[in-house]
């Protein structure tokens, strides 16, 4: 159950596997593709329907890891969820999108027909800083955002503000200018960096990349959101 994974109360499914290596990731146990518990579409929707009354103003959210790594299963799940009139949401980094991958993108086109909302986590707008933070480029991620605009899929943007890494006002305004150009943008969540993943790294015997970095105060996240919205307004109301 989740209250911050899309509109209303949500049934949240965590998918295994992620190519991103975000320095602040608090779910490193989801990175490996072949771990996790195998389930079927019927398993998921049976559990959803057990408490369906609670989700009547919410729906089903898939997250991870990276759910779009398992696009065949996700398509099967969303088709059936759509048939049962369940609001569907994908919480994604967009890292799997490649404009030239016609086979994958045909599946993605089909999936979007059954997707009510995409929550896209843009880690950093600057390409160099993005790669330093996540080990991956952001070119395909930004292209994915434009793809969602073309498909007219409602979009929520998430951005985690990490002290000294993704809190530069210039970068935040540039992020705002980019998302402000998207006609399908419905919401913006600006989240403060937290340290809840530190103990999990210790339990897994892993070194935490941002060891010693303190959590960001909520008021600093609010300040960052202000800079992003300045960029949004610059594009939309110039």
The per-residue pLDDT for 34 is 86
- Over residues 122-136, the pLDDT tens digits come to 999 999 999 999 999
* SS3 state of residue 75: helix
**Segment 74-98 mean pLDDT:** 97
- Over residues 127-179, the pLDDT tens digits come to 999 999 999 999 999 999 999 999 999 999 999 999 999 999 999 999 999 99
CB 2 within 8 A of CB 14: no
pLDDT band, very low/low/confident/very high, at 213 (cuts 50, 70, 90): very high
Q: Which residue has the higher pLDDT, 115 or 4?
A: 115
- Over residues 46-69, the pLDDT tens digits come to 999 999 999 989 999 999 999 999
Closest by CA position to 17, among listed 84, 83, 92 = 92
pLDDT band, very low/low/confident/very high, at 238 (cuts 50, 70, 90): confident
DSSP readout, 42-53? HHHHHHHHHTGG
Residues 6 or more apart from 194 whose CB is under 8 A from it?
A: 26, 215, 216
The per-residue pLDDT for 2 is 58
Distance CA 178, CA 219 (A): 24
pLDDT at 13 over 90: yes
Strand residue runs (E) in 180-220? 185-192
pTM for the full model? Answer: 0.94
The per-residue pLDDT for 27 is 86
pLDDT at 3 over 70: no
Distance CA 154, CA 26 (A): 27
Q: Is the dihedral of CA 88, 177, 190, 215 positive or negative?
A: positive
Residues 6 or more apart from 39 whose CB is under 8 A from it?
A: none
The per-residue pLDDT for 121 is 97
């Amino acid at each position: 159950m989740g209250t911050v994974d899309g509109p209303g109360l949500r049934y949240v499914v965590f998918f295994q596997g992620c190519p991103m290596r975000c320095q602040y990731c608090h779910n490193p146990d989801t990175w490996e593709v072949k771990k996790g518990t195998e389930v079927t579409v019927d398993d998921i929707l049976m559990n959803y329907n057990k408490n369906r009354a609670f989700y009547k103003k919410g729906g089903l959210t898939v997250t991870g890891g990276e759910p779009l790594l398992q696009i065949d299963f996700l398509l099967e799940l969303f088709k059936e969820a759509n048939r049962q009139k369940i609001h569907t949401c994908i919480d994604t980094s967009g890292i799997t999108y490649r404009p030239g991958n016609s086979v994958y993108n045909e599946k993605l086109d089909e999936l979007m027909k059954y997707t009510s909302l995409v929550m896209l986590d843009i880690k950093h707008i600057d390409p160099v800083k993005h790669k330093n933070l996540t080990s991956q480029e952001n070119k395909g991620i930004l292209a994915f955002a434009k793809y969602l605009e073309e498909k007219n899929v409602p979009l929520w943007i998430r951005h985690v503000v990490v002290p000294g890494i993704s809190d530069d006002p210039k970068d935040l305004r540039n992020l705002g200018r980019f998302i402000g150009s998207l006609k399908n943008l419905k919401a913006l969540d600006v989240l403060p960096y937290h340290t809840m993943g530190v103990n999990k790294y210790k339990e897994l015997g892993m070194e935490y990349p941002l060891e010693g970095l303190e959590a960001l105060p909520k008021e600093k996240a609010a300040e960052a959101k202000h800079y992003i919205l300045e960029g949004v307004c610059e594009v939309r109301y110039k």
